[in-house]
Structure 1
Amino acid sequence: MNSKTRGSTARKAKEGLRVTGMYVFLVVICVVIIYPILWIIFSSFNPSQSMFSSTLIPKEMSLSNYVWLFTSPDSDYLLWFCNSMKISLTVMVLQVALVSFTAYAYSRFSFRGKKFGLLIFMVLQILPLTSAMIAFYALGILLGLVQNHAHAYLIAIYVGSAIPGNTYLVKGYLDNIPKELDEAAYLDGAGNFTTFFLIVMPLAKPILAVQALWAFMTPLQDFVIAKLIIREPELNTLAVGLQSFVSGSMTGGTQMQFTKFAAGSLLIALPIALLYIFLQKYLISGLTAGGTKG
């Protein structure tokens, strides 16, 4: 076997090891991701309340946990679900609307302080929402929003905190829409609002779909801010309410209802999945777009 053949064989062996290692890594990642999901799914059908089971698939499967969530007088799950949907839908509409206006202004108009404003937006998006928890709480107490308008205050926090980063993202997408379209619309007699609603926004549907999905998911997934602001049990969101199942507060600390928690948390994915299916045709191009520019 000459050196050229040996070199080719070595390269093939090296490439084979690389591909094998990649597949092994992907399999491990899939197991790490899929196993907890399967555990939650099968736990939700477990009639007992134990966190642990001798097998992944319970020996007896039942819908009792789901039935309990919606029919038991001790369950406020439907109330929590309605609270979360109200907040999520409102946040989604307001966030998409406000981010659209601000991103359009930064993309299409020149004004004093534009670069400084974008710089501030870039800095603000680096800071996590939880870094302002104390400020949010203190301001809410001083204005009486925590005591009297907890849901409205939560909506304001979610929407306001998302504007800087999302404006920067949507602006990057709008920058790629040719301004010649705006100029052609102006020549035809269209004003700024007509151009915004009939020319630019229809072309920006992919990035707006991404914004809508993110905005809808945030209140459903957030526990820390909601727990800080909400003080009345009847105002609980799903994340805050479900925490009472595993903290034992629902049963006075005597029992932790892990399987009911699994059933309730699994149902949170349903509205997100439905919205994803509805927006799916826009999401692929939207998720790969929006890179900042200039």
Structure 2
Amino acid sequence: MNNKKSSCRAITTMFLTAILIIQAILILYPIAFTVSASFIKDNSLSAVGTVPFSRPFSLVQYHRLFTETNYGHWYLNTLKVACMNTIISVFVCSFTGYIFSRFWFPFKKTVMASMLVLQMFPSFIGMIAIYVILWKLNALNTLWGLVLVYSAGSIPFNSWLMKGYFDTVSKDIAEAAYIDGATPFTAFVRVVIPTARPEIIFLALTSFTGPWMDYIFPRLILRSDEKKTLAVGLFELINGRSNDNFTMFAAGALLVAVPFIILFVKGQKSLLMSLAGTGGKE
């Protein structure tokens, strides 16, 4: 009987191990293929080969990327948009979420319900209205116009996100600060915000990564080459029949992942704490 159980357990372990190996291959092979493609001399993907890293190592595509295109400028533009969106979203949504969580005011439930309903509609439904508004504001082909679109569009969902987290934080923390003479603003900044640090870091990460590789709105708003973001610039490298820059595209795509790796390594602990819901319960 014990031998039969041991055999079943061994078969189950082997089956699960095989599934995990297959999943790892399916996930890692495209990454390895892209990395390999960025380090070959030829432009066509047909030169990469089925087996990654089977071709001679070369940095030609990275040299072409920075000398034949405005990749560095695209990268800087995207970094500016992502950082500004992060700052605005964290500042506005933290205050908005705290106000909805702690204070009462007329039409509070109506405003919250309206924000939730607006979030249900896809963003591209309002593209024409957004284009007209930016045109009236002289914000077309500007980075600040793109930041305005991203930050305004993220307010409903992120405000609900922060409200849900602040609802789990004990009110006794702020009330203790009130007893010591702190104003509501001081208590929020010095007491509540440090308590909500994991959720704020999560909000900052999502606000940074959201616009990083978005294509639709930058393509709609931006026109000149010096204003392009990474998504628009990289897509134009392979767009059209005459463009054969797939390996240079792979090099650019690989560099795109660098900020993501740094941010998620640095904020991994806070991200896990946020997902686990570590706010103080009442």
TM-score when scaled to structure 2? 0.90
Instruction: Note the C-alpha offset of 1:107.
Output: 1.0
Q: Distance in 2 between matches of 1:221 and 1:290?
A: 30
User: Superposition pairs for residues 60-209 of structure 1, below 5 Å?
Assistant: 60-70=56-66, 72=67, 74-147=68-141, 150-209=142-201
Instruction: Note the C-alpha offset of 1:18.
Output: 5.5
2:282 aligned with 1:265, yes or no? no
1:152-175 superposed Cα distances (whole Å, 9 cap, x missing partner) = 111011111111111111111111
The match for 1:227 among 204, 219, 222 is 219
- Segment of structure 1 superposing worse, 200-209 or 253-262: 253-262
Q: Distance in 2 between matches of 1:140 and 1:211?
A: 26
Show the counterpart of 1:57.
Answer: 53
Instruction: Note the C-alpha offset of 1:244.
Output: 1.4
Q: Which runs of 5+ in 2 are unaligned?
A: none
Show the counterpart of 2:242.
Answer: 254
1:113-151 superposed Cα distances (whole Å, 9 cap, x missing partner) = 22222222322333332333232223323443215xx21
Letter in 2 for 1:169: L
Letter in 2 for 1:205: R
Q: Distance in 2 between matches of 1:33 and 1:117?
A: 42
TM-score when scaled to structure 1? 0.86
Query: Per the alignment, do residues 17 and 166 of structure 1 end up closer, same or farther by CA in structure 2, a change over 3 Å counting?
Result: farther
What is the total number of aligned residue pairs between the two structures?
278
Show the counterpart of 2:277.
Answer: 289
Q: Distance in 1 between matches of 2:12 and 2:125?
A: 42
Taking only the aligned residue pairs, the percentage that are identical comes to: 34
Instruction: Note the C-alpha offset of 1:184.
Output: 1.0
Query: Per the alignment, do residues 177 and 134 of structure 1 end up closer, same or farther by CA in structure 2, a change over 3 Å counting?
Result: same
1:206-262 superposed Cα distances (whole Å, 9 cap, x missing partner) = 0111111111111211011111111111100011111111115xxxx5332001110
Q: Which runs of 5+ in 1 are unaligned?
A: none
Q: Distance in 1 between matches of 2:23 and 2:120?
A: 28
Query: Per the alignment, do residues 288 and 124 of structure 1 end up closer, same or farther by CA in structure 2, a change over 3 Å counting?
Result: farther
Instruction: Note the C-alpha offset of 1:76.
Output: 0.4
